[in-house]
Amino acid sequence: MLYDTGVLIWVFRGNTAAARMIDGDEERSLSVVSYMELLQGAANRRETRLLKSFITDCRFSLHPLTENIGHRASIYMEEFAASSGLRFADALIAATAAENRMTLCTGDHRHFRAIRELEIAVFKP
């Protein structure tokens, strides 16, 4: 499963449901976009080290951006940005899930619900 940034933020805030969800998943994945969003939110080097340790210790697979992901994300933006408020980072994350044929786990499914080809697992904190 590919985890949206928000689910990991819930883990870092101490949400046990989010931690259990991730712990119970053998195929943990993260878009490099989510990873960068998490790094952007780190307040200092200590938090950056903790984040990197968490990603490594939990054995998340990091999915890089590819030409196909970029192309699919641009199509999503053309189709859904104006009508549903899709943002570019969410388009890249959705495209990463779609290109890798993975379920996207998100706590904010309204960002992604317009993308019919995307399989979504909704996390409720």
How confident is the model over 5-23, as pLDDT tens digits? 999 999 999 999 999 999 9
Cβ atoms within 10 Å, residue 62: 11
Per-residue pLDDT at 9? 96
Structural domain for 85, as ranges: 2-122
At 62-95, the pLDDT tens digits run: 999 999 999 999 999 999 999 888 999 999 999 9
pTM: 0.94
Domain CATH code at residue 32: 3.40.50.1010
As given in the structure block, the two tokens for residue 82 are: 């104006």
Q: Name the burial class of residue 90, with classes exposed (0-12), middle (13-18) and buried (19+) by CB atoms within 10 angstroms of its CB.
A: buried
The helix/strand/coil state of 62 is strand
Q: What's the confidence (pLDDT) of residue 125? A: 85
Domain count, the chain: 1
